[in-house]
Amino acid sequence: MKLRQLYIVPLMAGVLFSCSQNFTDLNPVSQRNVNGFYKTAGDMNTAINAAYKVLQMNGTYNQSYWVMMEMRSDNTDQGPDGTGLAAELTVIDNFSEIATSEIITAAYTDSYLGITRANIILDRIDAIEMDAAVKDRIKGEALFIRSLFYYNLAVLFGNIPMPLKELKSVDEGRQLPQLPASEVYKQLITDLQKAEASLPIKYAASADLGRATKGAAAALLGKVLLTAGDKQAAATVLKRIVDSYGYSLVPDYANLWGLNNKNNRESIFEVQFRGGGTGTGNAFTNAFSPLLRQTTGAYKNRPTVNMMNAYGPGDDRFLKSMDTSYVNAQGALVSSSRNDSRFITKYGRENAFNENDASYNFVVLRYADVLLMLAEALGESDAAYGYINQVRARAKLAPISASTPGTFEEKLLRERRVELAFENQRWADLLRFGKAREVMQAQGKNTRLLYLIPQRELDINSSYKQNP
């Protein structure tokens, strides 16, 4: 935890952002003095928007999370160029990064910045006179956002401090112990149950599109329960989403992606980005963009050959997830007409308004994931295969059953891989299924299951222990 920042952040309310006519328009408005802030309902609306804003940062969904969740796995690698600025990506891909890595440090510190903003809201909102329903909703949003950051931190680092209130001194922060991920998940289960109860199924105003809902809290809760090993409780929560919250699969997999398909009926929670000089555009579209690759070859997060070959014959998701037009099944170029070999297409081919200023959202939770998690929670059964086959039918694939070759876990993990490719699910899935070391060693990688705690945190907290 960046303890100095946790102490300073409440005194620097200038990092807060406010809504204009749309929830996603989170432009900075002015420096604010903390002593005059957190006083009104409007202040709390600004504060919760500032917590959402952290989801857009380079240390979270704009860069570090996809590097650490996808590139770490067998789904992608750093691309053809591992030198210069790409060298830090290369060492993460190869499990040889050090504790001073800027990308890893950013994931840690930016996640705790989001947690800090949520904690301030939860500590101060009860003292404010405002509509009770809005107050409960903002509490639910803050609990969801905080839980999402803690879930990612627990998956990535394992042993982490877990402040649940606003820290007002460096010494107060230094007294926080590292907790094992199992203890973090226990708290998240409680918090997400409260969040689900407080949040609406959907929002009436279009300006609120993208805020956390009951479905978002429940989907993350189901994922946490599976990670914690409580499949029975996970099945109950996930079945509630299926039965009561109104989501459904988009008929065509291609219509999950693209600027015209943001926040569609399958979407449960997306990180909202808006390019065009608003200050809220994303950088990952440029990083993955085939347009960039045509001229420089400097693309990142390239699908591996192993990922390319994970799709079965006739899988409709293959060419709607990546482009491999110029390579054969071994990943070798069969045309020299451009530098591209294989690249992600889910997040767009279009030029951004400016470099690193694209409008594609990052999809965090969606209904297909819920169906596959529900199958996982139920275990091998006709019902579980029924949920898997709903997802496969959309991909124009025949149903599978207990008689299909392979174990149930092998079939489910493969289905999750190809359905959710490049959505930051693979590394967490490999860990949850107990397959990370086996899978990555098969790729020739000397695997580390947890990331190193950033060195700056060990320097600040001498009692903290480094991950092996």
**Is 335 within the bounds of a domain?**
no
First to last CA, the chain: 18
State the residue range of the domain holding 171.
3-274+362-460
Cα distance between residue 47 and residue 394, in whole Å = 40
Residue 8: the pLDDT is 28
**Is 371 within the bounds of a domain?**
yes
Residue 356: the pLDDT is 83
User: Could you write out the DSSP letters of every residue in 51-97?
Assistant: HHHGGGSTTTTTTHHHIIIIITTTSEES-S--SGGGHHHHHHHTT--
Residue 242: the pLDDT is 98
**Is 311 within the bounds of a domain?**
no
DSSP letter at 2 equals -
Segment 198-235, tens digit of pLDDT: 999 999 999 999 999 999 999 999 999 999 999 999 99
Segment 404-455, tens digit of pLDDT: 999 999 999 999 999 999 999 999 999 999 999 999 999 999 899 999 999 9
Backbone angles phi, psi at 97, to 5 degrees: -70, 160
Cα distance between residue 40 and residue 20, in whole Å = 17
**Is 264 within the bounds of a domain?**
yes
- Helices (DSSP H) in 289-403: which residue ranges? 290-296, 305-308, 367-378, 382-394
Residue 119: the pLDDT is 97
**Is 128 within the bounds of a domain?**
yes
Residue 17: the pLDDT is 34
> In this structure, what CATH number is given to the domain that contains residue 17?
1.25.40.390
**Is 322 within the bounds of a domain?**
no
Please tell me the total count of domains within the chain: 1
Cα distance between residue 433 and residue 195, in whole Å = 27
Residue 286: the pLDDT is 83
In the chain, which residues have pLDDT < 50?
1-32, 292-295, 336-339
Contacts of 35 (CB under 8 A, 6+ apart): none
